[in-house]
């Protein structure tokens, strides 16, 4: 589909908000797989005393996470996420894709970065 | 309006407002959301000290009633809104500072603010409010943690023209406190035996009807006495009553048990508010990045985007 191309402020392209996209059953079940939820666990929000700790599922389904994810996607499509990606140690390809503001390009770059790195992929910290 | 200064947007959520009020150092009140507006809605919430109404701001509407510009301003705390995002805090502070009820304890910070600003005109009061370090940091601590600094090129759809105003009885009259007006709006007298909620109800209902027709979002919240305090007080009263009568009836027993359940419910609610606040304050960025990496490794990222686009298209523009 041609809509995805050059979507910076693109008029035709639908505006994708990641909040809803990351709360779908597919994402929830992928993220909840033991190996994956272990990687996500250190990044979960804290709980107040006497309240249950949020897990991956409650996090993905919470409105506060949705808001953060939506903020992420609007920052990404405005092309301002490159520097942040660098902080997270993501490769230059991914960073420059993030700088274009094209979510599709960013996701593709992230996918090819992870496949070229597979095999030795225990460190994602 | 000048720049938004350092004020963040906050959600119109009863938990946010209740915690905001606590951060101001105010005791004895909380905020409850009104889901409907029928006759019985307030029965379990009395006393109601004021109402906060959130709606989309329409530039051109005229004040429905006279704007107070006389000496009543010396007694009514009314502040002009001088910065954008502060209107939620402004509405709730206005209600609190005009509230004259034994349940409501303003605390040192708001008492100081009131004493300091009552001699000013509405604009200076607004400036004083927006310059208050305590109020600003309490307000800002309520907002969603910003993942990072960035300029949104397009204003996000929910954030633009929403506005909070307050309604409350002051000295036997009903007032609307809207920081974008020149002064409080006088909606007329409340008869001595009349419940002010019966006076405000038709005003809000007609306003809601306008917004419902235009499919405009609105939200109504009530500033009420601390519910747990009220229930505990009722239990005390029942217990001392039975002690005086020297007997205990089943009715009283049932009522006390009901009140204890309501207290448990309040405790659970406050715990939930705390949990939501910790979520709001949490930096989800590392979680998001790790999740995107996981999805990328499993080649689930591009399909996810395709599906999201399809959904966005189905929903149509906007």
Neighbours of B136 (CB within 10 A): 19
Q: So what's the pLDDT on residue B209?
A: 81
Q: Does A38 touch chain B (CB under 8 A)?
A: no
A16, A28, A93, best to mutate vs chain B, most B CBs in 10 Å: A16
Determine whether B87 is an active site residue: yes
At A15 the pLDDT is 75
Question: A24-62, pLDDT tens digit by residue?
Answer: 999 999 999 999 999 999 999 999 988 889 999 999 999
Q: Which one is catalytic: B49, B99, B139, B163?
A: B163
Concerning whether B282 is annotated as a catalytic residue, the answer is no
Contact A111 B302 (CB under 8 A): yes
Across the interface, of A45, A69, A115, the residue whose CB is closest to B279 is A45
Q: Do B302 and A75 touch (CB under 8 A)?
A: no
Nearest CB to A103; choose among B145, B280, B305: B305
Chain B residue at shortest CA distance from A30: B295
pLDDT digits (tens, 9 = 90+) for B86-133: 788 889 999 999 999 999 999 999 999 999 999 999 999 999 998 888
Question: Closest by alpha carbon to B14, among B32, B29, B26?
Answer: B32
> Global pTM?
0.83
- The per-residue pLDDT for A4 is 38
Is A80 within 8 Å of B151 when comparing Cβ atoms? yes
Q: Looking at beta carbons, which residues of chain B come within 8 Å of A93? A: none
Q: Is the dihedral of CA B204, B210, B213, B215 positive or negative?
A: negative
For residue A7, what pLDDT is reported? Answer: 37
Diameter of chain A by CA atoms?
A: 51
Which residues in chain B touch residue A44, judged by CB atoms under 8 angstroms apart? 287
pLDDT of residue B196: 95
- Which residues in chain A have Cβ-Cβ distances shorter than 8 Å to B145? 68
- Residues in chain A closer than 8 A to B293 (CB atoms): 110, 114, 124
Test B274 with A4 for CB contact under 8 angstroms.
no
Is residue A120 scored above 60 in pLDDT?
no
What pLDDT is attached to residue B316?
Answer: 61
CB atoms A113 and B274 under 8 Å: no
Beta bridge partners of residue B170, listed in sequence order: B173
Tell me what the pLDDT averaged over chain A comes to: 83
Burial class (CB in 10 A: 0-12, 13-18, 19+), B300: middle
Q: Are B15 and B277 in contact (CB under 8 A)?
A: yes
Tokens of B162: 């929403």
Lowest mean pLDDT among A61-65, A113-117, B248-252: A113-117
Q: Is the ipTM of this complex over 0.90?
A: no
- Extract the tokens encoding B99: 């509230």
Q: Name the maximum alpha-carbon separation found in chain B.
A: 74
Contact pairs from chain A to chain B, CB under 8 Å? 153
Q: Tell me how close the Cα of B279 comes to any Cα of chain A, in angstroms.
A: 6
In degrees and rounded to multiples of 5, residue B91 shows phi and psi of: -65, -45
- Angle of helix B133-140 relative to helix B107-117, nearest 10 degrees, comes to 130
Q: How many residues does chain A have?
A: 125
Residues in chain B with pLDDT < 50?
Answer: 1-4, 151-159, 318
Cα B270 from Cα B4, distance rounded (Å): 30
Which chain B residues are closer than 8 Å to A54 by Cβ? 275, 279
A30: nearest CB among B151, B156, B294: B294
B121, B77 contact by CB (below 8 A) = no
Q: Inspect the interface and report whether the beta carbons of A75 and B276 lie closer than 8 Å.
A: no
CA distance from start to end of chain A: 34
Give residues with Cβ within 8 angstroms of A86, minimum separation 6: A95
Three-state SS for chain B is: CCCCCCCCCCCCCHHHHHHHHHHCCCECEEEEEECCCCCCCCCCCCCEEEEEEEEECCCCCCCCCCECCCHHHHCCCCCCCCCHHHHHHHHHHHHHHCCCCCCCECHHHHHHHHHHHCCCCHHHHHHHHHHCHHHHHHHHCCCCCCCCCCCCCCCCCCCCCEEEEEEEEECCEEEEECCCCCCCEEEEECCCCCCHHHHHHHHHHHHHHHHHHCCCCEEEEEEEECHHHHHHHHHHHHHHHHHHHCCCCHHHHHHHHHHHHHHHHHHHHHHHHHHHHHHHHCCCHHHHHHHHHHHHHCCCHHHHHHHHHHHHHHHCCC
Closest CA in chain B for residue A33: B294
CA angle B13, B17, B23 (to 5 degrees): 145
């Amino acid at each position: 589909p041609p809509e995805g191309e050059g979507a910076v402020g693109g008029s035709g392209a639908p505006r994708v908000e990641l909040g809803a996209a990351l709360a779908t059953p597919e994402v929830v079940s992928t993220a909840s797989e033991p190996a994956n939820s272990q990687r996500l666990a250190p990044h979960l929000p804290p709980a107040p005393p006497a309240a249950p700790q949020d897990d991956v599922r409650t996090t993905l389904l919470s409105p506060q996470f949705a808001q953060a994810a939506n903020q992420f996607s609007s920052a990404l499509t405005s092309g301002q996420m490159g520097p942040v990606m660098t902080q997270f140690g993501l490769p230059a390809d991914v960073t420059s894709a993030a700088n274009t503001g094209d979510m599709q390009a960013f996701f593709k770059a992230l996918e090819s970065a992870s496949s070229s790195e597979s095999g030795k992929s225990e460190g994602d910290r | 309006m000048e720049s938004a200064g350092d004020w963040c947007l906050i959600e119109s959520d009863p938990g946010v407002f209740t915690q905001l009020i606590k951060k101001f150092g105010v005791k004895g009140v909380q905020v409850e959301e009104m889901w409907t507006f029928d006759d019985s809605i307030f029965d379990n919430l009395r006393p109601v000290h004021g109402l906060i109404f959130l709606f989309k701001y329409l530039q051109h509407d005229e004040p429905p009633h006279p704007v107070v510009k006389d000496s009543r301003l010396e007694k009514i705390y009314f502040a002009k809104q001088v910065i954008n995002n502060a209107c939620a805090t402004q509405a709730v502070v206005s209600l609190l500072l005009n509230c004259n009820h034994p349940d409501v304890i303003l605390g040192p910070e708001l008492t100081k603010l009131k004493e300091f600003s009552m001699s000013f005109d509405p604009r200076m009061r607004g400036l004083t409010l927006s310059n208050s370090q305590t109020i600003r940091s309490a307000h800002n601590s309520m907002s969603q943690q910003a993942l990072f600094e960035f300029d949104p090129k397009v204003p996000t759809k929910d954030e633009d023209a929403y506005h909070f105003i307050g309604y409350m009885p002051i000295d036997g009259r009903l007032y609307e406190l809207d920081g974008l007006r020149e002064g409080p709006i006088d909606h007329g007298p409340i008869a001595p035996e009349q419940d002010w909620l019966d006076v405000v109800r038709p005003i809000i209902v007609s306003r809601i009807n306008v917004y419902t027709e235009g499919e405009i979002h609105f939200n109504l919240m009530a500033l009420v006495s601390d519910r747990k305090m009220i229930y505990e007080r009722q239990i005390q009263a029942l217990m001392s009553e039975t002690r005086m009568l020297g007997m205990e009836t089943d009715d009283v027993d049932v009522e006390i048990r009901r009140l204890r359940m309501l207290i448990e419910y309040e405790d659970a609610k406050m715990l939930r508010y705390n949990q939501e606040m910790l979520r709001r304050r949490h930096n989800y960025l590392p979680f998001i990045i790790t999740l995107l990496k996981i999805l990328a490794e499993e080649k689930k990222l591009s399909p996810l985007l395709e599906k999201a686009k399809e959904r966005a298209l189905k929903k149509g523009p906007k």
